[in-house]
């Protein structure tokens, strides 16, 4: 059962976004996402400050503004408002269009609101705004003096959300007569389509292009004209504030990534080749019987101007307030402006009991670090009795039937679970976003990953019955879906051998009349292919985050419906796939008429027939030759209950 990754990008449109992303292929471990770094706001407190601007008084004298907008306490919109474009993230949960969270954002900041400039805040009104795409915006500083500084750092709060737009810096040493090559500061390898920096992210860069210059200037560029994506240019926004230019520190180490790698039999490809790496991806919740050794690691950067030695990577693991594991690895020597990685390969950690574990990562050196606020981070994970979950009980957003064009009915969301010992899968839990509307329905399937990553071939080995979302589910925010021992009259073996399995939920919203939205956890970036999305009519794509789709093993209580109260307690539709002629068999507990309805994946009723039913086994033959090839939803119901299934017409 091989976990081999298929590399695709994912494009979608909808009310909250123009496109989704696919993460770059990750090597030994993943780069930590911006929101996990302990970054602070830029500040003018440094004694080596050369220039500082917080836009407290609007665009300063000597600055040149072409296309940017100043937001201040008395402007309309004010500094309390971020992007107002139709697709900027206004409808996301949580919103992704708030003002930049700099230390001084209340007194003003600058924004290039590409989304709004094109659509004037109206969804679908492309090209109707005051400055339609393709467009370009530049913001250029006044002249400042760096003549006494050989090593210069530029630092500022940067809140950028990408669709096709790109953002750059340029530098001048002759008051703006000539300019350096553009430097892209949030390239697509770091911030992919429909992704963004954290709202309080601080960008730092050594910028010796202007060192020793007494006529230095900086230019900030939003380029919404050079890069085209699916026929669109630009879109989303860039906000900046609290710009500081200062002397580069002599000693400054940064902890840029932290790794929690559990050993396992998973296989992931690197350089488009299959390779057994002996590790599994990070899981937020792991059953105790699936626990294996954990190797910790960090990646860092020597941002200072001096070489450093005796760099220490320290990991502490706490459980219930007590430190139960600690390890230190020393990295002997790191050159200035160099990156490095340290793995604790000689001291692995094996959790031995259930609970919430907190892992603290710390980077230290023999030298006094100028910015020690970015030398540590922490993660948590849980060891459970029966729950296997990619997420860590956190939600950074949600994905559902309204997230993608053509995703309203038949959208599939899946997480990969790598079992290291066989176990019985008894149910699957789903966490719902508050945007979910009762009345939609779903089905859970589980399939072996053999053949899936190389050719997108699904081989389902387990099915749940179709389930209709209720008001109580929406209120609770969670659904428990049992995995039955029989499905469609056939026995199912719920015991899964060692290997990789996709636990998938297929969503139907009745053409968006009953939206279903599943929570998504972005607190730890997942390996490529560990979380997947399928859009009807397209293919599977990598998600990059952790969907709240949890696999429950062992004894999970489920109260079955009283069979005497059910109208139908089993239904079988065959052959499936069918050329158009189908037989419907079901067991009824009453003498009663029922409605047999067939819907396409947009929720449109395409066939209806009244069926006379009797207590006991019922057999009906139905002609659906008029239907086009594709999947259809079958519902049979009366006033007492409803049974849902799916058929595939292939002529």
Q: Which two tokens stand for residue 234?
A: 């630009």
Residue 243 maps to which CATH number?
Answer: 2.60.120.200
User: What's residue 119's pLDDT?
Assistant: 94
| C-alpha span between 134 and 118 (Å, rounded) | 9
| Final residue of a structural domain among 553, 581, 615 | 553
| C-alpha span between 25 and 192 (Å, rounded) | 12
| C-alpha span between 519 and 395 (Å, rounded) | 6
Contact call for residues 165 and 238 (beta carbons, < 8 A):
yes
Q: How far is CA 190 from CA 12, 184, 295, in A?
A: 20, 11, 25
Q: Are residues 60 and 194 in the same domain?
A: yes
Q: Are residues 327 and 257 in the same domain?
A: yes
| C-alpha span between 585 and 564 (Å, rounded) | 19
Q: How far is CA 634 from CA 344, 534, 586, 617, in A?
A: 54, 21, 13, 19
Helix (H, G, I), strand (E, B) or coil at 427: strand
Helix (H, G, I), strand (E, B) or coil at 17: coil
Q: What is the DSSP string of 52-92?
A: EE--TTSSPTT-EEES-EEE-TTSSS-TT-----TTSSTTS
Residue 490 domain-assigned? yes
For 22-68, write each residue's pLDDT tens digit.
222 222 222 223 233 333 334 444 448 999 999 999 999 999 999 99
Helix (H, G, I), strand (E, B) or coil at 400: strand
Q: Are residues 280 and 336 in the same domain?
A: yes
Q: What is the DSSP string of 217-246?
A: EEEEEEEESS-EETTEE--EEEEEEEEEEE
| C-alpha span between 304 and 313 (Å, rounded) | 18
Residue 392 domain-assigned? no
Q: Are residues 360 and 407 in the same domain?
A: no
Helix (H, G, I), strand (E, B) or coil at 426: strand
| C-alpha span between 53 and 247 (Å, rounded) | 16
Contact call for residues 107 and 123 (beta carbons, < 8 A):
no
Q: How far is CA 637 from CA 179, 188, 581, 610, 627, in A?
A: 71, 50, 21, 10, 21
Q: Which domain holds residue 578?
A: 568-649
Residue 480 maps to which CATH number?
Answer: 2.60.120
**Residue 29 carries which DSSP code?**
S
| C-alpha span between 9 and 271 (Å, rounded) | 17
| Final residue of a structural domain among 360, 385, 410 | 385
User: What's residue 6's pLDDT?
Assistant: 28
Residue 315 domain-assigned? yes
Specify the number of domains making up the chain: 4
Q: Are residues 202 and 317 in the same domain?
A: no
Q: Are residues 456 and 602 in the same domain?
A: no
Contact call for residues 453 and 524 (beta carbons, < 8 A):
no
User: What's residue 650's pLDDT?
Assistant: 83
Q: Are residues 426 and 507 in the same domain?
A: yes
Return phi, psi of residue 374, to 5°: -110, 30
Count CB atoms within 10 A of the CB of residue 422.
12
Q: Are residues 63 and 212 in the same domain?
A: yes
Count CB atoms within 10 A of the CB of residue 430.
25
Residue 283 domain-assigned? yes
Q: Are residues 486 and 506 in the same domain?
A: yes
For 563-618, write each residue's pLDDT tens digit.
333 445 566 777 877 888 888 877 777 777 888 888 876 667 899 998 888 777 78
Contact call for residues 410 and 516 (beta carbons, < 8 A):
no
Q: Which two tokens stand for residue 468?
A: 């209709």
Residue 594 maps to which CATH number?
Answer: 2.60.40.3080
Residue 9 domain-assigned? no
Residue 21 domain-assigned? no
User: What's residue 559's pLDDT?
Assistant: 36
> CB-based contacts of 610: which residues, under 8 Å, 6+ apart?
593, 594, 595, 596
User: What's residue 558's pLDDT?
Assistant: 37
User: What's residue 509's pLDDT?
Assistant: 92
Q: How many helices (H) and strands (E) does the chain have?
A: 3, 48
Q: Are residues 402 and 353 in the same domain?
A: no
Specify the residue for token string 């139907």: 508
Residue 291 maps to which CATH number?
Answer: 2.60.40.10
> CB-based contacts of 103: which residues, under 8 Å, 6+ apart?
41, 42, 43, 157, 242
Contact call for residues 6 and 235 (beta carbons, < 8 A):
no
Contact call for residues 531 and 545 (beta carbons, < 8 A):
yes
Task: Supply the pTM of this predicted model.
Answer: 0.73
How buried is 231 (Cβ within 10 angstroms: 0-12 exposed, 13-18 middle, 19+ buried)? Answer: exposed
Residue 500 domain-assigned? yes
Q: Are residues 240 and 211 in the same domain?
A: yes
User: What's residue 33's pLDDT?
Assistant: 30
Residue 27 domain-assigned? no
| Final residue of a structural domain among 507, 530, 553 | 553
Count CB atoms within 10 A of the CB of residue 318.
18
- What residues in the chain have per-residue pLDDT under 70? 1-47, 91-94, 265-277, 451, 453-457, 555-571, 601-603, 639-641
Vertex 303 angle, CA 297 and 305, to 5°: 135
Q: Are residues 265 and 315 in the same domain?
A: yes
């Amino acid at each position: 059962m091989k976990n081999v990754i298929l590399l695709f990008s994912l494009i979608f449109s909808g009310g909250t976004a123009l496109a989704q992303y696919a993460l770059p292929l990750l090597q030994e471990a993943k780069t930590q996402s911006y929101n996990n770094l302990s970054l602070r706001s830029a500040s003018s407190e440094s004694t080596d400050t050369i220039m500082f601007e917080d836009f407290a008084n609007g665009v300063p004298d000597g600055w040149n503004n072409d296309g940017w907008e100043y937001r201040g306490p008395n402007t309309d919109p004010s500094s309390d408002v971020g992007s107002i474009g139709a697709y900027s993230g206004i409808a996301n949960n949580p919103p992704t269009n708030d003002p930049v969270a700099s230390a001084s954002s209340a007194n003003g900041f600058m924004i290039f609101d590409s989304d709004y400039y094109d659509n004037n805040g109206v969804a679908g009104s492309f090209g109707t705004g005051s400055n339609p795409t393709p467009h370009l915006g530049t913001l250029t500083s006044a002249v400042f003096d760096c003549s006494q500084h050989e090593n210069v750092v530029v630092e500022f709060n940067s809140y950028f959300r990408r669709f096709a737009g790109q953002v750059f810096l340029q530098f001048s040493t002759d008051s703006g007569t000539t300019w350096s090559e553009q430097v892209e500061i949030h390239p697509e390898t770091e911030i992919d389509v429909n992704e963004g920096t954290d709202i309080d992210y601080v960008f730092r860069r050594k910028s010796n292009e202007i060192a020793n210059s007494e006529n230095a200037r900086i230019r900030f560029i939003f380029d919404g004209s050079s890069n085209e994506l699916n026929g669109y240019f630009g879109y989303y926004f860039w906000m900046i504030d609290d710009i500081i230019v200062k002397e580069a520190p002599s000693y400054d180490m940064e902890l840029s990534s932290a790794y929690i790698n559990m050993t396992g039999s998973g296989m992931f490809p690197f350089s488009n080749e299959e390779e057994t790496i002996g590790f599994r991806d990070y899981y937020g919740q792991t059953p105790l019987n699936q626990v294996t050794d954990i190797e910790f690691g960090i990646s860092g950067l020597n941002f200072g101007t001096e070489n450093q030695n005796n760099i220490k990577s320290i990991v502490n693991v706490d459980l219930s307030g007590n430190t139960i594991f600690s390890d230190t690895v020393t990295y002997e020597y790191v050159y200035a402006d160099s990156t490095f990685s340290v793995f604790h390969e000689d001291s692995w950690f094996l959790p031995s009991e259930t609970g919430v574990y907190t892992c603290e990562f710390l980077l230290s050196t023999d030298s006094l670090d100028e910015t020690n606020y970015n030398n540590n981070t922490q993660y948590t994970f849980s060891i459970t009795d029966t729950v296997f979950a990619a997420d860590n009980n956190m939600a950074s957003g949600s994905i559902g039937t309204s997230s993608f064009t053509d995703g309203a009915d038949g959208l599939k969301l899946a997480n990969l679970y790598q079992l290291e010992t066989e176990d019985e899968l008894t149910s699957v839990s789903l966490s719902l976003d508050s945007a979910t509307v009762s009345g939609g329905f779903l089905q859970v399937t589980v399939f072996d990953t053999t053949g899936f990553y190389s050719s997108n071939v699904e081989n389902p080995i387990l099915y749940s019955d179709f389930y209709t979302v209720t008001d109580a589910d929406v209120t609770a925010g969670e659904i428990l879906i049992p995995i039955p021992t029989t499905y469609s009259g056939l026995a199912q073996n719920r015991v899964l051998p060692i290997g990789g399995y996709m636990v998938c939920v297929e969503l139907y919203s009745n053409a968006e009349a009953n939206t279903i939205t599943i929570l998504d956890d972005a607190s730890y970036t997942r390996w490529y292919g560990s979380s997947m999305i399928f859009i009807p009519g397209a293919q599977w794509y990598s998600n990059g985050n952790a969907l709240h789709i949890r696999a429950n093993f062992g004894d999970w209580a489920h109260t079955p419906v009283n069979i005497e109260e059910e109208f139908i307690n089993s239904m079988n539709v065959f052959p499936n796939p069918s050329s158009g002629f189908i037989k419907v068999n079901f067991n009824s507990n009453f003498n009663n008429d029922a409605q047999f309805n067939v819907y396409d994946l947009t929720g449109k009723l395409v066939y209806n027939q009244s069926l006379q039913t009797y207590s006991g086994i019922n057999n009906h033959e139905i002609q659906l030759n008029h239907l086009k090839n594709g999947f259809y939803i079958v519902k049979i119901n009366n006033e007492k209950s409803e049974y849902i299934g799916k058929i595939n017409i292939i002529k």
